[in-house]
Amino acid sequence: MAEAVDYSYLLRKIEVLERDLEELKALVLRLQAEKEEPEVIPEEEYRKLVEKAEHLRKHPEKGLTAEEAVKLLEKAMPDVPGGSEQRRRQKGQEAPKALPTQKARRVHRGPERKSLSQAAL
């Protein structure tokens, strides 16, 4: 008779690896962003943007809602991971998971821990 194998350890380990991978992806994106030179805009354009921002603070009804802004950004950047929720739905894909705010606590589980070769037996 085949021995029952507890796959819960393997599933927990996979979840930890997935979280670590997401953290590494975020780190790579951060490093890429830090490596790029900041974009310099002309002083006149900067003043116009500041004036527009002050106007929108006084008259928020003339601006975009957060939802409208997100939709415009998704349309403007279709190749960015996390963009175009509608395309993901059409393809049947899930939305990307949010990054965990805290690192997972790793706990030694003792004798119940089995190697992959032992689990296959």
pLDDT digits (tens, 9 = 90+) for 3-45: 767 889 889 999 999 999 999 999 999 999 888 888 888 999 9
Buried b or exposed e, range 64-89, using 16+ CB within 10 angstroms = eeeeeeeeeebeeeeeeeebbeeeee
What residue ranges do the domains of the chain occupy?
A: 7-36, 38-90
Report how far residue 100's alpha carbon sits from residue 30's, in angstroms, rounded to the nearest whole number: 16
pLDDT digits (tens, 9 = 90+) for 29-86: 999 988 888 888 899 999 999 999 999 999 988 888 889 988 888 888 877 655 555 5
What is the structure's pLDDT at 88?
56
